[in-house]
Amino acid sequence: MRERALRAIAECRRIATMTEEPGRITRRFLTPPVREVHAHLRTRMEALGMTTFVDAAGNLRGQLRSTGESVRRLILGSHIDTVPDAGAFDGVLGVALALEWVGIAQEIEFPLAIEIIAFSDEEGVRFGVPFLGSRAVAGSFDPSLFAIKDADGVTMEAAIREFGLDPGWIGDAVLGKDAIGFVEIHIEQGPVLEASSCSVAAVSAIVGQTRINLVFGGHANHAGTTPMRLRHDALAAAAEWIVAVEALARRTEGLVATVGKIGIEPNVGNVVPGVAQVSLEVRNADDTVRAAAVGELLASATSIANRRGITVERKNQLEHPAVPMDERLTSLLADAIEAAGLPRRTMISGAGHDAMVMAARVPTAMLFLRSPGGISHHHAESVLEEDVEASLRVGREFLLRLAKQIG
């Protein structure tokens, strides 16, 4: 497995050179570097005997026929787009390892057909909407998204056409009923596995997410002539609320809450801030806990605003429920981890993944690999050779068990 592991890591580093920005890994939905990635992956897929095509959402798909008469398929894959100045392994490692799993499947004469999907968009960087690729495959793509424009004023529909695809065929990207399951392999993107000295884990669920933008509206005024008791400082109100956000998250088990973006008007050193725009993101694996936390935080924002004589408005951006992974496939993955001589471990994913979208269409499981330093979405992102090799051993055991179960 060591040779396979080294090849998968080398693939990620090679694909990292296919970027919009020299010296930085940036690859957004259907930008020119995506063509390079497709060409490279097509070569790898076809060398494995797979037939390839790109669907109307820009997903590269490789299909391997079954060794017998079965028409059922196992789906493997992850995404090939990135955030700006990304690491080499987020998403791409899942595609590189899927290729190696196909090679292993051929060695053990796996009885099902296999399809690899290199999803075109998971991060949502170009158009501000994530999971475009998996939405199309899962049958949850909203055609109204075609009208959204990127920072250059290009609509999504135009971007798809410029890539040589027909958005009118988006419905044909939907996964058929012959798919028995989807497995995504992904780096953890956090410090949990490293803290427990584990190479891999099966994911039991993906947390639910709420994203809201709040606008605190006060009164801008001269900073030198406006007494403190007569101020209606929007930034001070926002700051008080941000501290309340952190406090609630710290005292609530499993809850993470983040204010990661602030905009201030007029943003001048000698003017009392009149407007403060802030983001709120709340995540938890229990939707009830998450909803209660969001409700408390919104009530807190209103209370702070009223006491300070300012206004607060909100705009909901995203509401996504927690997504449990398929119990049968997750149990098989956990069994495979143990059979590979590794500690049996399951964990919750604090980040969103294509798997959360695919789970609505097909039984879904995820395998996490340790992220050294807990670093991701950063050029210092890395993996350990031993962990990649471990994931391949797990893959072999998983495929053997799945073959036996469906045989």
214 band by pLDDT with thresholds 50, 70 and 90: very high
Give me the pLDDT at residue 92, please: 98
Contact 29, 146 (CB under 8 A): no
Over the stretch 115-169, which tens digit does the pLDDT of each residue have? 999 999 999 999 989 999 999 999 999 999 999 999 999 999 999 999 999 999 9
Closest by CA to 387, choosing from 235, 241, 188, is 188
Q: In terms of pLDDT, which residue wins out, 407 or 271?
A: 271
Give me the pLDDT at residue 114, please: 96
Average pLDDT over residues 377-391: 96
Give me the pLDDT at residue 320, please: 87
Query: Which tokens hold the place of 25?
Result: 């890994």
- Cα separation, 380 vs 378, in Å, equals 5
Cβ-based burial of 232 (10 A; exposed 0-12, middle 13-18, buried ≥19): buried
| Every domain of the chain and the residues it spans | 2-207+322-406, 208-320
- Cα separation, 348 vs 324, in Å, equals 9
Whether residue 67 has pLDDT greater than 90: no
Question: Which amino acid, 283?
Answer: R
Contact 200, 390 (CB under 8 A): yes
Whether residue 69 has pLDDT greater than 70: no
1 band by pLDDT with thresholds 50, 70 and 90: confident
Contact 119, 133 (CB under 8 A): yes
Query: Which tokens hold the place of 19?
Result: 């970027």
Give me the pLDDT at residue 68, please: 66
Closest by CA to 141, choosing from 83, 60, 78, 56, is 56
Give me the pLDDT at residue 379, please: 92
Give me the pLDDT at residue 71, please: 77
Average pLDDT over residues 48-75: 91
- Cα separation, 263 vs 253, in Å, equals 30
Whether residue 407 has pLDDT greater than 90: no
Spell out the CATH class of 208-320: alpha beta
- In 234-323, alpha helices (H): 234-251, 287-308
Give me the pLDDT at residue 385, please: 97
Question: Which amino acid, 209?
Answer: Q
Weakest-pLDDT range from 79-83, 319-323, 388-392: 319-323
Q: Which residues contact 11 (CB under 8 A, 6 or more apart)?
A: 44, 92, 96, 99
Q: Which residues contact 43 (CB under 8 A, 6 or more apart)?
A: none
CATH of domain 2-207+322-406: 3.40.630.10
322 band by pLDDT with thresholds 50, 70 and 90: very high
Residue 319's DSSP bridge partners are 210
- Cα separation, 76 vs 100, in Å, equals 11
Angle at CA of residue 193, ends 97 and 85, nearest 5°:
60
In the chain, the percentage of residues whose pLDDT exceeds 90 is 95
Average pLDDT over residues 334-351: 96
Closest by CA to 118, choosing from 219, 10, 43, 169, is 43
Over the stretch 12-35, which tens digit does the pLDDT of each residue have? 999 999 999 999 999 999 999 999
- Cα separation, 292 vs 191, in Å, equals 27
- b or e along 302-314 (b: 16 or more beta carbons within 10 Å of the residue's beta carbon)? eebbeebebbbee
Average pLDDT over residues 35-50: 97
- Cα separation, 41 vs 36, in Å, equals 9
Over the stretch 173-195, which tens digit does the pLDDT of each residue have? 999 999 999 999 999 999 999 99
Give me the pLDDT at residue 405, please: 87
Average pLDDT for the chain: 96
